[in-house]
Structure 1
Amino acid sequence: MSLLVTCQHGLGDNIYSRPFVRAAALKDSGPVYLSTPWPELFEDLKMYGVQFVRPETRLRTQAKNVERQRPGLWVGAPLNARTVRVGYNGATLKAGLSVPRAIERVLPLRGAPFVFDLPYMGVSPVTTIGQPLAVIRPATVRREWFNAARNPKPEYIAAIAAELMTTHHVVVVADLQDGAEWLEGELPPHHQAFVRGELTVRDLLALVAAADVVVGGVGWIVPAALALTRPAFIILGGHGGHNAPALITDARMNLSQIYFAAPTEYCRCTDMKHNCTKEIPDLRLKWDTFRRTRLSRPSSPTPPPAPSLGGRS
């Protein structure tokens, strides 16, 4: 029987869903229809029979990406398709299930391997001459999902960006729009900024894939850096009841190059507007620890080829 998988609409949420969509394509006897605003993240799975269904969304960034697709990409799922809605919520996180484990509960691997990766997105849109690339994600808030609580103090991101300015080509990325999404604090120091949604999702992820280091708060950069095996220094803010590292990672991922800099009193609240305590007085020490760890685990900015998983079983 055909399977219709409906993903959540967040960019990071879709990255988290990849291992389980792949498993469904490998293990189900019928075709898999995937409703997602980010088909680019699953394009390689077409070889296993995955087809894309146009999602209904009014979310700004997601709707823009849906409109970018060629019309012929979208198909209709059969009316008798079995439907699975992928996702997680406050109840699953409160129960201690991480995001991947919550997704797995509704879309099990069923013996397929857990492979956390992304398809090749092409060449980076930024070319640096003789300097490694640093990608900075500033602290922002948006009207559609106003979660100021999870953001770190913006001056912490700015401090790390300022230090990287002496050794790296620093690129800041965001999708700001007046009245819809805006910065907290000032724009971090940078050599280049793409902060008005200039980059497509392919360009954005190709940029991350080429990065020597990724810096920012919790958000899509966490699963993107993990899937692309890029070193990431993630500065935590609050809202830890939904965003603690144990909830947004999985032991089956390669966690060797990600570092979470936590506040001294990390707030475990679940209120997106809570005035969480976010002080990290030893941020510089944590940054130095991350850099020392990186020196002992060198990495290449070239993503490995996708593993061959064979056909359906």
Structure 2
Amino acid sequence: MSILVRGMHGLGDNLHQRAVIRQLMARDEVFLESSWVAPYHDLVAAGLKILRKATPLRTQSKNADREASLFHRGPLPPRAQEVRITYTPDLVRARGSVLAAMCWATATDYAAADFRMAVPAEWLQQAKLLFNAWQPRKPVLVYRPLVDRTEWGGCRNRNPDHGAYAALFDAIRDDFFVVSIADLVPGQEWIVSRQIRADVELHKGELDFETLAGLFKLSAGVFASPGFAVILAQAVGTPVACVFGGYENSSSFAGGARFSPTLGIDPINPCQCFSHSHACQKSIDIPAASARLRAFFAEAARHWPGCA
């Protein structure tokens, strides 16, 4: 049987989707609508066919244009069964994580859901070229600044408290060579967090997905707010700490915590409203959270094999 999967837009959702698609491919021919090809490189090699998904979203459109030649162009089989990957706030709350909600919605097995992604040697080589240029003398930490954007209702409610985010990063900053990554466009996506002292800033979307995956794989850890960076770190097995604000809490990414060390820093009063307008309380116990972060990243640095 052939299946047409109506996939989601976000990069993090696409990484999570790998677990669903892998299970569907075990028994059927699968066609997937997506703006992304590279995150499915191994599944494409195993027979997955990706159809370009129309979208007005900036990052997705930019990537789809870059990978235009890689999308499947053949016809769909007649009477392909349709599967839609989605999740609702109620389903995430009821099932316990975004990945669990996706599996429930698609009748796939959450216990066996595996979105881990091998990073090809050529992607690692691209990242190693960056490391060779930077010559880091400390373990490398990927840092995601807090951003807001015009799309998706913005990130204001989802972001943690700006002061808390800065204070928590300060607790571990001096132990790492820090690479700050973002894809900013004036008037469309901009940084709202406090300025930090990064060793390298890549804020213009300089890295394609392949190099980004290599960078995450070779780094000692990732410090981020909720978003794709958490799921990508889990997919490639890199320790990640995520600081939450409103909209959701650390249970969102619990499905990937079995694949890489994951530390969720929740507010004192966590919220799972999944609303862009709710007045979530974002206060964080800074001393307690800082102690947890220092212990977590000390362990990550201790196990970092280096970037050779």
Cα distance in 2 between the residues matched to 1:110 and 1:27: 13
Contact kept? 2:104, 2:110, Cα under 8 Å: no
Among 267, 289, 297, the residue aligned to 2:292: 289
Cα distance in 2 between the residues matched to 1:138 and 1:153: 12
Contact kept? 1:88, 1:102, Cα under 8 Å: yes
Partner of 2:63: 65
1:1-313 alignment, distance < 5 Å: 1-28=1-28, 31-76=29-74, 77-109=76-108, 113-121=112-120, 122-123=123-124, 124=127, 126-127=130-131, 128-145=135-152, 146-239=154-247, 243-250=248-255, 253-254=257-258, 257-280=261-284, 282-293=285-296, 295=298, 299-300=303-304
Q: Which amino acid aligns with 2:252?
A: L
1:212-269 superposed Cα distances (whole Å, 9 cap, x missing partner)? 1211211112211222221112111112xxx22223322x742662111122222343
Give the Å deviation of 1:113.
Answer: 4.0
Partner of 1:307: none
Cα distance in 1 between the residues matched to 2:155 and 2:110: 36
1:96-144 superposed Cα distances (whole Å, 9 cap, x missing partner)? 4521122112434469943231131512263133321011111111111
1:25-82 superposed Cα distances (whole Å, 9 cap, x missing partner)? 1122xx2111111211111012321111111111000000000014253224234211
Cα distance in 1 between the residues matched to 2:265 and 2:143: 15
Contact kept? 1:172, 1:188, Cα under 8 Å: no
Percent of aligned pairs sharing the same letter: 28
**Which structure's residues are more often helix, by fraction?**
2
SS of equivalent to 2:180: strand
Cα distance in 2 between the residues matched to 1:211 and 1:257: 13
Q: Which amino acid aligns with 2:67?
A: Q
SS of equivalent to 1:138: coil
TM-score of the superposition, structure 1-length normalised?
Answer: 0.85
Q: Which amino acid aligns with 1:48?
A: A
SS of equivalent to 1:115: coil
Paired positions, count: 296
Structure 1 regions of 5+ residues with no counterpart?
304-313
Q: Which amino acid aligns with 1:155?
A: G
Distance 1:253 1:190, change over 3 A: closer
Give the Å deviation of 1:189.
Answer: 2.1
Cα distance in 1 between the residues matched to 2:299 and 2:221: 15
Cα distance in 1 between the residues matched to 2:24 and 2:160: 36
Q: Which amino acid aligns with 1:277?
A: Q
Cα distance in 1 between the residues matched to 2:144 and 2:55: 24
Q: Which amino acid aligns with 1:24?
A: L
Distance 1:104 1:269, change over 3 A: closer
Cα distance in 2 between the residues matched to 1:64 and 1:191: 27
Contact kept? 2:137, 2:177, Cα under 8 Å: no
TM-score of the superposition, structure 2-length normalised?
Answer: 0.86
Distance 1:183 1:69, change over 3 A: same
Give the Å deviation of 1:93.
Answer: 2.6
Cα distance in 1 between the residues matched to 2:15 and 2:26: 18
Distance 1:156 1:23, change over 3 A: same
Contact kept? 2:148, 2:155, Cα under 8 Å: yes
Distance 1:129 1:302, change over 3 A: closer
Deviation larger for 51-60 or 105-114: 105-114
Cα distance in 2 between the residues matched to 1:112 and 1:160: 33
Cα distance in 2 between the residues matched to 1:228 and 1:151: 24
Deviation larger for 101-110 or 42-51: 101-110
Cα distance in 2 between the residues matched to 1:119 and 1:208: 12
